[in-house]
Amino acid sequence: MKCIAVDDEPFALDLIESYIKKSPFLKFHGGFSNPLKALSFLMSNPVDLVFLDINMPELSGLQLLNSLKHKPQVVFTTAYSEYGAQSYEYDAIDYLLKPIKYERFLKAVNKAYDLSGKSRGEGMVVDATPVCKIAIHIKSGSQMYRLQPEDILFVEGAGNYMTFYTKEKKVLSLRTMKETLQQLPSDMFVRVHKSYVVSLMHIDVIERHQLVVKGNKIPIGITYREQFFAKYKMSL
């Protein structure tokens, strides 16, 4: 996918450029600190995906997008959370709040990759999983399991053991809740109870005191309720 980045902050622009360049299925076609130059480039050089800052002088990201007759896929980037709802009126792929972590960046580009494949009528590569997703390694007894974060439904703790529930299996590991939280991508998982961590992307039903994840009922602890709802809202 051909990509450009538009951001008036040099550090933010350099960060997005570095993320694009280390993601195998993305091709970097330019970084622009001046939105007017970015607009000029886009009018004669179509790209697949634009990482677009919203709050910029001279021309905001939203104004830039409105100026384009043929709009590419867009991932908005900003330091201001109040733009979130407005960004989705523009059919944005995602909305990244600065400072942006690579794991969160990957979640956005995987959405864009999936949608671009569907729009072209193409299937995903090989096993339908973009190769840049970061796997985690879980030791269980004498075996080491390689798990993709997006395949993990939830994690349940009991004493000194944690059980990782995936779409296909359960993996029991000797480890603490703290170690588990440090290993899981923080933008994809949230702790909802003293004994449970859930994947935000696999939640099917939300009730006041519990969640349903692929048929599994998981309690929401009072201590974690506010944190969960705040994080779930940001993931939408």
Of 185, 183, 189, 146, whose CA–CA distance to 168 is shortest? 146
Q: Which ranges of the chain would DSSP assign to H, the alpha helix?
A: 10-21, 35-44, 61-66, 84-87, 102-119, 177-183, 222-235
Who wins on pLDDT, 133 or 90? 90
Q: Say if CB 130 and CB 110 are below 8 A apart.
A: yes
> pLDDT of 100-130, one tens digit each?
988 889 888 888 887 775 444 443 333 333 4
Question: Which one of 1.10.1040.10, 3.40.50.720, 2.40.50.1020, 2.40.50.140 gives the CATH number of domain 136-235?
Answer: 2.40.50.1020
Q: What value does the mean pLDDT take over residues 54-65? A: 89
R_g of the chain, CA atoms, integer Å: 20
> What are φ and ψ of residue 220, in 5° steps?
-105, 115
Q: What value does the mean pLDDT take over residues 23-48? A: 92
- Per-residue burial over 50-60, b if 16 or more Cβ lie within 10 Å, else e, is bbbbbebeebb
- Looking at residue 37, what is its pLDDT? 95
> pLDDT of 71-80, one tens digit each?
899 999 988 7
Domain residue ranges of the chain, discontinuous segments joined by +: 2-119, 136-235
**What CATH topology corresponds to 2-119?**
Rossmann fold (3.40.50)
2-6 and 27-32 as β-strands: parallel, antiparallel, unpaired?
A: parallel
Of 159, 190, 184, whose CA–CA distance to 172 is shortest? 159
Q: What value does the mean pLDDT take over residues 185-198? A: 92
> What are φ and ψ of residue 92, in 5° steps?
-65, 145
Q: What percent of the chain has pLDDT over 90?
A: 49
Residue with tokens 């201001």: 80
> pLDDT of 125-171, one tens digit each?
333 334 344 678 899 998 999 898 889 999 999 999 999 999 899 99
Token pair, residue 108, equals 């956005």
Element housing 158 (H / E)? strand 152-158
**108: CB partners within 8 A, 6+ apart:** 75, 93, 94, 96
pTM for the complete prediction? 0.52
